[in-house]
A and B are shown apart, each in its own frame.
Chain A
């Protein structure tokens, strides 16, 4: 009863697809600025511990636009003296945002779910508006136009803290459409599920997915 059906994914297939993604990502020559995906096992919750866990891509750096605005804004709150003396330090510090992406399996919807957050180098978490300022225009277009991608702030299933997420209730519908195109074997389909899913949700959050990920070596 495993594999892909109705646009959904079984837990076993999710784990297999995740392992394949981790391996494949390391094999291809990804952009140096893209960190590796890693599997994070969790024994915290119930269920077989060898299957429980999530995919993580952490420490993705982005230079944010509007750096001048950032400096001025923070200069006001920090006081003129500090601002004047530490212009360069603040400049480099406030220009960098660090992103973490997690892919968690939803037992309810039987699909992967993207959770993400971003912080400055001082650890302060970014708001959704600040994150949207980091996104390329095509991502903003996807977010505003597509009914399938909207960002909310929900509790991370394993970390018990609020993270941003793309709501999964419609994922099985559009994944069904996406996978219908391919005529590959059933087992192959489940391995292709995550790269295909990532190509859609990654676009919504400005996460680049190399084309080689979709090709068999």
Chain B
């Protein structure tokens, strides 16, 4: 079991997206234009961390002066604080290999993207997310706030370089997992008791349900879509719902384990509900002028449920609904302890 967990972590940390980076036409100052830059973007990494090598590649063709560098895919400015793998899973309905991105050295869209001052901003964003995840899991951020400067630097260096062993050296001290069905977060003392074969499990969080840090990216695609490759590109970020909401582990009556479907049903109820009343509530929001049929059959309800959620991707893997949620959370989370889930839903608007 521990070996399988180790293998999953290595694959997640080693995951990469092949990138083909093109210099934006307006930023080209050499003739002929430079060839695109080919590289691998770590799934758990961030686009701004690639800027030094990209700059080196295009150095002969860049406009003079310094401005904030940014990336674009099919007209959409890319959020630098979202991990590369998540952007890829969300924006490429059909995985595009290599993924063609455009890099800009001018005209930072500051009304769309938060400011970015290079590596320092990415590090701050990562530490911020880690602090937030720590708060979710333990009820406070103290284990991160109390890290020494040396440990913070070592942790960040490990993330930047994709150094899993270096990361584990520091992160195990934060005591942030793994999540378990009984709602307890395993701590050093709990582990010690288990090794001693104690029948009485210590329950430091007994008064507080365990919460799993989850970030959902919900993308609408055409309702009648049959092939995911026919999805229209994302043209603006307003059409993607970003939901930063932890999932609370609660024992569900009659279930031996919590499925991914159940977790998503809790976090995104309107995309899973087949209840006539809920459907009626959703109608005004969707601008649907059809009359809701209260006598709709259960078979039709099942059809409705199936057509709503078309695809779920985590770390590039399309997951079945019945997979245990805690397995997904423990094995496919990012280095800031967030599980990033891309959800494709069929919508009438698109």
In whole angstroms, how far apart are the Cα atoms of A157 and B218 in the complex?
Answer: 13
Contacts of A48 in B (CB 8 A): 269
Contacts of B216 in A (CB 8 A): 46
Query: Of A46, A162, A169, which is within 8 A of B268 by CB?
Result: A46
Known interface pairs A46-B241, A47-B267, A160-B242. Does A108 touch B213 (Cβ–Cβ under 8 Å)?
yes
Interface residues of A in 22-66 (CB under 8 A from B): 43-49
Known interface pairs A154-B114, A169-B141. Does A49 touch B245 (Cβ–Cβ under 8 Å)?
no
In whole angstroms, how far apart are the Cα atoms of A160 and B268 in the complex?
Answer: 18
In whole angstroms, how far apart are the Cα atoms of A167 and B131 in the complex?
Answer: 11
Contacts of B285 in A (CB 8 A): 43, 49
Contacts of A49 in B (CB 8 A): 270, 281-282, 285
Beta-carbon nearest neighbor of B112 in chain A = A161
| B-side interface size class | 35 or more
- Does A132 count as interface, using CB distance less than 8 angstroms? no
- Does A83 count as interface, using CB distance less than 8 angstroms? no
In whole angstroms, how far apart are the Cα atoms of A125 and B111 in the complex?
Answer: 9
Chain A nearest Cβ from B65, distance in angstroms: 19
0 or 1 for each of B204-227: is its CB under 8 Å from A? (1 = yes) = 000000000100101000000000
Contacts of A120 in B (CB 8 A): none
0 or 1 for each of A102-116: is its CB under 8 Å from B? (1 = yes) = 000001110000000
- Does B323 count as interface, using CB distance less than 8 angstroms? no
In whole angstroms, how far apart are the Cα atoms of A173 and B110 in the complex?
Answer: 33
Contacts of B237 in A (CB 8 A): 160-161
Chain A nearest Cβ from B279, distance in angstroms: 12
**Which stretch of B6-14, B50-58, B132-140, B311-319 is in the interface?**
B132-140
- Does B240 count as interface, using CB distance less than 8 angstroms? yes
Beta-carbon nearest neighbor of B216 in chain A = A46
- Does B166 count as interface, using CB distance less than 8 angstroms? no
| A-side interface size class | 20 to 34
Which of A6, A161, A167 counts the most chain B CB atoms within 10 A? Answer: A161
Known interface pairs A46-B267, A162-B115. Does A107 touch B135 (Cβ–Cβ under 8 Å)?
no
- Does B235 count as interface, using CB distance less than 8 angstroms? no
Which of A46, A155, A160, A162 counts the most chain B CB atoms within 10 A? Answer: A46
User: Is there contact, CB below 8 Å, between B111 and A157?
Assistant: no
Query: Of B111, B113, B115, B245, which is within 8 A of A107 by CB?
Result: B245
Known interface pairs A153-B114, A157-B242, A162-B114. Does A108 touch B271 (Cβ–Cβ under 8 Å)?
no
Contacts of B271 in A (CB 8 A): 46
Chain B nearest Cβ from A131, distance in angstroms: 14
Chain B nearest Cβ from A13, distance in angstroms: 16
Interface residues of B in 83-139 (CB under 8 A from A): 110-115, 128, 131-132, 135-136, 139
Chain A nearest Cβ from B335, distance in angstroms: 17
- Does B18 count as interface, using CB distance less than 8 angstroms? no
Known contacts A155-B114, A160-B237, A160-B240; 8 additional CB pairs below 8 A are A43-B270, A46-B243, A49-B270, A49-B281, A108-B246, A162-B110, A162-B111, A162-B113
Interface residues of B (CB under 8 A from A): 79, 81, 110-115, 128, 131-132, 135-136, 139-141, 213, 216, 218, 237-238, 240-246, 267-271, 281-282, 285
Interface residues of A (CB under 8 A from B): 6, 43-49, 107-109, 125, 153-155, 157, 159-162, 167, 169, 172
In the complex, 22 of the A-B residue pairs with CB atoms within 8 angstroms, ordered by the A residue number, are: A6-B139, A43-B270, A43-B285, A44-B241, A45-B218, A46-B241, A46-B245, A46-B269, A47-B245, A47-B267, A47-B269, A48-B269, A49-B285, A107-B244, A107-B245, A155-B79, A155-B81, A160-B238, A161-B111, A162-B110, A162-B115, A167-B128
